[in-house]
Amino acid sequence: MKPRRSKKSAKDVPLSWEQTDELRKHLPDRYQATVDCGRGLGMRQGEIFGFSPDDVDWSKDDKTVCIRRQITHDRGTLVFAPPKGGTKDDPKDRYVPLDGDLATLFRDHMREFPPVEVTLPWLEKGGEVVTVRLMFTTRERKALNKNYFNCLWKAALEAIGVIAAVHDKPIGKGRKWEECRDKMMHSLRHLFASEAINEGVDVYTLADLLGHEDPAFTLRRYVHRVTGAVGKARRAIGQRYRAAA
C-alpha cells in the first residue's frame, strides 16, 4: 500500500490580503483583530482563541509573541492545551516577531475590549484548572468556541461575496453555506506564509514561525505562487549579470 500524502495546497492563496481587509469589517468589532493574529502572526484558530497579552513583553522595542497555548475540545469541554503537536513534556512553544504597527493595533483592541480572565482545565476535561487573561472572549466573558465563531466567519465570507448561502434561514438560526473549508480561518496562516516568502523569508525560518518540524511540509502546503515572481526572478538574475559587467 502506498503511503498517504498530505493534500497539496492550491497554487494561489485562498484569500488575498485585500479580501481579508474586507472580511475583517464584517466581523463583530470585538473579533476583528483575530484576523491580524492569523495573517500577521501565523496563528492557528485555537491559538488565536488562547492568545493572551501576557504572551508579549510589551516593554521591548523588538517585540515577540510567545505562542504557548491553544483552546481546543476534550470530550465536549473547552480546554487549554499546548500548540498543535505539543505535549506536557514538550509543549512546542514558538516565538513570532510582532511588528510595531500590529502591536499598536492590539493595544487599541485591548483599550476597547479589555482582556478577560478565563479559567479552563489544562489539556483534558478533568485536568488542572488554569486561569489566563485572554485577548478575545464572548460578550459573556467566556472562551470562544470554534462552532460559534465559524458561523460568524462564514457570514463575513458571504458578505464579501466569496461564498453563498444554500438557503434563506437567518444567520444563527440554522443558516448553511456552500463548502468553503479552504476559506476558513486557517487560510490566514497561508496568507501569512505567502507574505513572508514574498518578502524573502527562507522556508526554514518560516517553518519555525509556523511551528512545523519539517520545512518540506511548509513548502508543500503553505508556499503559494507569488504575484510578480517571474519578473522578480528576472530582475534578480539580471542584477547579478549587471554587477559582473
- How far, rounded to the nearest angstrom, does the alpha carbon of residue 153 sit from its chain's CA centroid? 13
Q: What is the pTM of this model?
A: 0.89
Average pLDDT value for the chain? 90
Per-residue pLDDT of the chain (245 residues; tens, 9 = 90+): 444 444 555 578 899 999 999 999 999 999 999 999 999 999 999 999 999 999 999 999 999 999 999 999 999 999 999 999 888 888 999 999 999 999 999 999 999 999 999 999 999 999 999 999 999 999 999 999 999 999 999 999 999 999 999 998 988 788 999 999 999 999 999 999 988 988 889 999 999 999 999 988 888 888 776 666 556 666 766 776 677 76
Type of residue at 81:
A
What whole-number distance in Å separates Cα of residue 82 and Cα of residue 70? 6
* Neighbouring C-alpha atoms within 13 Å toward the C-beta of 99: 10
Domain ranges of the chain: 17-244
What's the pLDDT tens digit per position in 182-197?
999 999 999 999 889 8
Contact criterion met (CB below 8 Å) for 42 and 186: no
pLDDT given at position 177: 97
CATH superfamily of 17-244: Intergrase catalytic core (1.10.443.10)
